Structure 1
Amino acid sequence: MPGLGTLINTLAIAVAGVLGLMLRRVLHQRYQESIITASGVAVAFLGAAGTLAKMLQMSPDGAGLEVHGALLMILSLILGALTGEIIDIDRGFTRFGVWLKRKSGSSKDPRFVDAFVTASLTVCVGAMAIIGAIEDGLRGDISVLAAKSLLDFFIILMMAASMGRGAGFAALPVLLLQGSVTILAKLVEPIMTDTVIGNISLVGNVLIACVGLNLVRPRTVNVANPLPALLFAIGFSFVTALA
């Protein structure tokens, strides 16, 4: 059934949010801070590892490693950040978080919006969300989203335990984003070449690393506004193909 993978992913995040809150009640504040710092370091290293895996490739003669995609990454991030600042995506995320905070009866939770935005960016940014949703929509293959669901479960569990109930509401953006991609899968499939997927993964992993940094040192990087960098990464894929 198309969409099953996204439903599983959404449920995994929601359940992790609930379990994280239960865990939070038995954890001292000091332990919660340690958990979120450890989670941030882990997310940052996962993003960095994914980025380096795409950038560092063996040279054709096997003599050593070569760096690929650095210019594309830099241009995508700069243009994406500029576009995001003009649109002010961060404000949109924050306003949605404030609306959820009010509707969910979480007005007394001072970290709700921060937890929601941080968790949403962590589980929505990256190639697995897009590629998994396309595979789900076209072939009913949920293997990618099943793996993502497992990763997201533990990430949100730790975030909810340390940051509060806002983390669990990241299930909503996942449902909307991946559900939309699944529905439009037949339209976007022709453009999802290996180059496009690689570029999305490269830039997406950089953004994931930035999310990790924000968990360690809040608001170090505004990750919401550079999200259009993913679209520029796709665009540059075709520019380089025509060059």
Structure 2
Amino acid sequence: MPVGPIVNALAVFLGGLIGAFLGEKIPERLRIALPLTFGAASMGMGVNLIVKLHMLPPVVLSLIIGSAIGELIKLEKGIEWCAQRVRGPVERLFSGGGSSLDSKSFMEKFVGIVVLFCASGTGIFGALNEGMTGDFTVLISKSFLDFFTAAIFATALGYLVMTVAIPQFVILLALFLSAGFILPVVTPEMIADFTACGGMIMLVTGFRISGIKSFPVANMLPALLLVMPVSQLWTHFVG
């Protein structure tokens, strides 16, 4: 049973629900300060994952090619389009639970938390690890952070934050189910480069959440699909 993916998705759903419900009741200084803390935490986790890399060239190459693919297929625009389509019905369903932010600021933060919740190195590793070993402690630990992160962001973004639990659950469940097929055919070096690639994406996600620089983080996600085969080819042909 995928305990970790279920608990993690419920944490995001409940955190988003509670945060949107409380809304203005949470002090403004807390709503401003904590996202900066979450951004810093994301950057810190990213750095912690980056230092585990095996070889830098395949990671950089994967990020460049992956980002180019993401830009060409307009992946981030697709996420924004889906969010805009869902935003109206959700805000009408939960009257008074909409966001006070303008559309640009809303999308800046929303896309950032989609990546943070759905594509973090901790979540990907945790789902794969549980699928192989049955140990769900990594995802349970991540759930505590996600609960409070979702709650704080929901005070500004509204009930739409709850919907992030759906793609998050689908992604974590897919990783959980595929772990038995993926991990036996990869090497520790490939996993190390995959982890470092996810760390770089988490690092720039932290910059985006903190409002320092708006990196197109969603367009970088295809790099996660490329980095392990590129790492293996690099090791085989270059050494």
Normalised TM-score (structure 2): 0.83
Aligned pairs, number:
229
Q: Match for 1:171 among 165, 180, 195?
A: 165
SS at 1:220 equivalent: coil
Equivalent residue number for residue 57 of structure 2: 71
Equivalent residue number for residue 129 of structure 2: 135
Note closer, same or farther for the CA distance 1:178–1:162 as it changes in structure 2 (3 Å cut): same
The separation in 1 between residues aligned to 2:52 and 2:205, in whole angstroms, is 19
The separation in 2 between residues aligned to 1:137 and 1:39, in whole angstroms, is 28
CA deviations 1:140-172 (Å, max 9, x no partner) are 331222222223223223322344333332211
Gaps of 5+ in 1: 56-67
The separation in 2 between residues aligned to 1:211 and 1:110, in whole angstroms, is 22
Note closer, same or farther for the CA distance 1:129–1:39 as it changes in structure 2 (3 Å cut): closer
The separation in 2 between residues aligned to 1:220 and 1:105, in whole angstroms, is 26
In 1, are the aligned partners of 2:190 and 2:231 still within 8 Å (CA)? Answer: yes
Note closer, same or farther for the CA distance 1:136–1:39 as it changes in structure 2 (3 Å cut): closer
- Percent identical pairs in the alignment equals 26
SS at 2:99 equivalent: coil
The separation in 2 between residues aligned to 1:165 and 1:116, in whole angstroms, is 12
The separation in 2 between residues aligned to 1:86 and 1:49, in whole angstroms, is 30
Note closer, same or farther for the CA distance 1:192–1:110 as it changes in structure 2 (3 Å cut): farther
The separation in 1 between residues aligned to 2:165 and 2:213, in whole angstroms, is 22
Equivalent residue number for residue 91 of structure 1: 77
The separation in 2 between residues aligned to 1:110 and 1:190, in whole angstroms, is 48
The separation in 1 between residues aligned to 2:219 and 2:168, in whole angstroms, is 18
Aligned 1:122-161 pairs, distance under 5 A: 122-161=116-155
Query: Residue type matched to 2:90 in 1?
Result: S
Equivalent residue number for residue 211 of structure 2: 217
Note closer, same or farther for the CA distance 1:160–1:204 as it changes in structure 2 (3 Å cut): same
Normalised TM-score (structure 1): 0.82
CA deviations 1:165-214 (Å, max 9, x no partner) are 33332211111111122233333232343222211210111111111111
Equivalent residue number for residue 67 of structure 2: 81
Equivalent residue number for residue 197 of structure 2: 203
SS at 2:218 equivalent: coil
Note closer, same or farther for the CA distance 1:217–1:113 as it changes in structure 2 (3 Å cut): closer
SS at 1:101 equivalent: helix
In 2, are the aligned partners of 1:39 and 1:159 still within 8 Å (CA)? Answer: no
In 1, are the aligned partners of 2:109 and 2:208 still within 8 Å (CA)? Answer: no
The separation in 2 between residues aligned to 1:170 and 1:219, in whole angstroms, is 23
Bigger share in helix = 2
Gaps of 5+ in 2: none
Query: Residue type matched to 1:80 in 2?
Result: G
Note closer, same or farther for the CA distance 1:133–1:104 as it changes in structure 2 (3 Å cut): same
Query: Residue type matched to 1:216 in 2?
Result: S
SS at 2:215 equivalent: coil
Shift of the alpha carbon at 1:10?
0.4
Aligned 1:95-114 pairs, distance under 5 A: 95-105=81-91, 108-109=98-99, 111=101, 113-114=107-108
4+ long deviations beyond 6 Å: none
Query: Residue type matched to 1:103 in 2?
Result: P
Equivalent residue number for residue 16 of structure 1: 15
SS at 2:206 equivalent: helix
Shift of the alpha carbon at 1:35?
2.6
The separation in 1 between residues aligned to 2:132 and 2:33, in whole angstroms, is 42
CA deviations 1:10-52 (Å, max 9, x no partner) are 011111112322443223445422332232223223322332x
Query: Residue type matched to 1:91 in 2?
Result: K
In 2, are the aligned partners of 1:6 and 1:145 still within 8 Å (CA)? Answer: yes
